[in-house]
Amino acid sequence: MLREALFAKIHHATVTFCDENYVGSITIDADLLDACGMRPNEKVLVADCTSGARFETYIFKGKRGTGVVGVNGAAARLTGIGHKVIVMSFCHLTTEELGVHRPKVVIPGDGNSVGRVIEYDPA
Protein backbone atom coordinates (compact mmCIF):
# COMPACT_ATOMS: atom_id res chain seq x y z
CA MET A 1 0.00 0.00 0.00
CA LEU A 2 1.19 3.52 -0.80
CA ARG A 3 0.58 6.52 1.41
CA GLU A 4 0.56 10.14 0.32
CA ALA A 5 3.08 12.25 2.22
CA LEU A 6 4.65 15.69 2.08
CA PHE A 7 7.65 15.65 -0.25
CA ALA A 8 8.79 19.27 0.08
CA LYS A 9 7.52 22.70 1.06
CA ILE A 10 8.37 26.34 0.48
CA HIS A 11 7.02 28.09 3.58
CA HIS A 12 5.91 31.74 3.48
CA ALA A 13 7.26 32.84 0.11
CA THR A 14 6.07 36.26 -1.02
CA VAL A 15 4.07 36.51 -4.25
CA THR A 16 5.93 38.87 -6.59
CA PHE A 17 3.47 38.95 -9.50
CA CYS A 18 0.07 37.72 -10.63
CA ASP A 19 -0.89 37.30 -14.30
CA GLU A 20 -4.41 35.98 -14.83
CA ASN A 21 -3.97 36.19 -18.63
CA TYR A 22 -1.08 33.70 -18.62
CA VAL A 23 -1.72 29.99 -19.27
CA GLY A 24 -1.60 28.78 -15.67
CA SER A 25 1.02 27.55 -13.20
CA ILE A 26 3.19 29.06 -10.48
CA THR A 27 6.59 30.44 -11.47
CA ILE A 28 9.23 29.85 -8.78
CA ASP A 29 12.87 30.99 -8.68
CA ALA A 30 15.15 28.07 -9.66
CA ASP A 31 17.20 28.55 -6.46
CA LEU A 32 14.13 27.84 -4.30
CA LEU A 33 13.27 24.79 -6.42
CA ASP A 34 16.79 23.38 -6.13
CA ALA A 35 16.86 23.94 -2.36
CA CYS A 36 13.70 21.90 -1.73
CA GLY A 37 13.91 19.40 -4.59
CA MET A 38 10.76 20.42 -6.45
CA ARG A 39 10.85 20.21 -10.25
CA PRO A 40 9.25 22.06 -13.18
CA ASN A 41 5.84 20.66 -14.18
CA GLU A 42 5.38 19.06 -10.75
CA LYS A 43 1.89 19.36 -9.27
CA VAL A 44 1.73 21.48 -6.13
CA LEU A 45 -0.82 22.64 -3.59
CA VAL A 46 -0.58 26.35 -2.80
CA ALA A 47 -2.03 27.81 0.40
CA ASP A 48 -2.34 31.59 0.52
CA CYS A 49 -1.74 32.62 4.14
CA THR A 50 -3.08 36.11 3.49
CA SER A 51 -6.40 35.30 1.77
CA GLY A 52 -6.95 31.75 3.00
CA ALA A 53 -7.34 30.43 -0.56
CA ARG A 54 -5.94 27.04 -1.55
CA PHE A 55 -5.38 25.86 -5.11
CA GLU A 56 -3.53 23.22 -7.10
CA THR A 57 -1.32 24.04 -10.05
CA TYR A 58 2.04 23.04 -11.52
CA ILE A 59 5.51 24.58 -11.42
CA PHE A 60 7.28 26.71 -14.02
CA LYS A 61 10.99 27.32 -13.33
CA GLY A 62 11.70 31.02 -12.81
CA LYS A 63 14.94 32.82 -13.46
CA ARG A 64 17.60 31.92 -10.91
CA GLY A 65 18.38 34.54 -8.25
CA THR A 66 15.38 36.76 -9.01
CA GLY A 67 13.20 35.71 -6.07
CA VAL A 68 10.27 35.32 -8.42
CA VAL A 69 7.13 33.63 -7.11
CA GLY A 70 4.41 34.40 -9.63
CA VAL A 71 0.90 33.01 -9.81
CA ASN A 72 -0.49 32.64 -13.32
CA GLY A 73 -3.87 31.94 -14.88
CA ALA A 74 -7.13 31.67 -12.98
CA ALA A 75 -5.30 31.12 -9.66
CA ALA A 76 -3.95 34.68 -9.91
CA ARG A 77 -7.45 35.80 -8.83
CA LEU A 78 -7.02 33.87 -5.54
CA THR A 79 -3.88 35.67 -4.38
CA GLY A 80 -2.10 38.99 -4.75
CA ILE A 81 1.29 40.65 -4.91
CA GLY A 82 2.80 40.66 -1.41
CA HIS A 83 0.70 37.73 -0.17
CA LYS A 84 2.51 35.01 1.76
CA VAL A 85 2.07 31.51 0.31
CA ILE A 86 3.03 27.96 1.22
CA VAL A 87 3.84 25.73 -1.77
CA MET A 88 3.61 22.00 -1.02
CA SER A 89 4.56 18.98 -3.08
CA PHE A 90 3.48 15.44 -2.19
CA CYS A 91 4.73 11.94 -3.00
CA HIS A 92 3.53 8.34 -2.63
CA LEU A 93 5.57 6.14 -0.31
CA THR A 94 5.43 2.63 1.01
CA THR A 95 5.06 2.25 4.77
CA GLU A 96 8.77 1.46 4.96
CA GLU A 97 9.73 4.55 2.93
CA LEU A 98 7.44 6.70 5.04
CA GLY A 99 9.39 5.62 8.11
CA VAL A 100 12.63 7.16 6.79
CA HIS A 101 11.44 9.96 4.49
CA ARG A 102 12.52 13.48 5.53
CA PRO A 103 10.56 16.21 3.72
CA LYS A 104 12.64 19.31 2.89
CA VAL A 105 11.30 22.69 3.89
CA VAL A 106 12.67 25.97 2.56
CA ILE A 107 11.92 29.09 4.55
CA PRO A 108 12.68 32.00 2.22
CA GLY A 109 14.73 34.96 3.38
CA ASP A 110 14.57 38.52 2.13
CA GLY A 111 13.46 38.83 -1.48
CA ASN A 112 12.51 35.13 -1.60
CA SER A 113 16.15 34.11 -1.41
CA VAL A 114 16.94 30.68 0.04
CA GLY A 115 16.89 31.47 3.75
CA ARG A 116 16.81 28.36 5.87
CA VAL A 117 16.48 24.73 4.76
CA ILE A 118 15.26 22.17 7.27
CA GLU A 119 14.21 18.53 7.07
CA TYR A 120 11.30 17.14 9.05
CA ASP A 121 11.87 14.03 11.14
CA PRO A 122 10.58 10.75 9.70
CA ALA A 123 7.12 9.57 10.66
- Among all residues, which ones are annotated catalytic? 25, 58
CA nearest to 13, candidates 74, 58, 66, 57? 66
Distance CA 8, CA 2 (A): 18
Distance CA 12, CA 6 (A): 16
Computed from CA positions of residues 80, 46, 112, 42, in that sequence, does the dihedral angle turn out positive or negative? negative
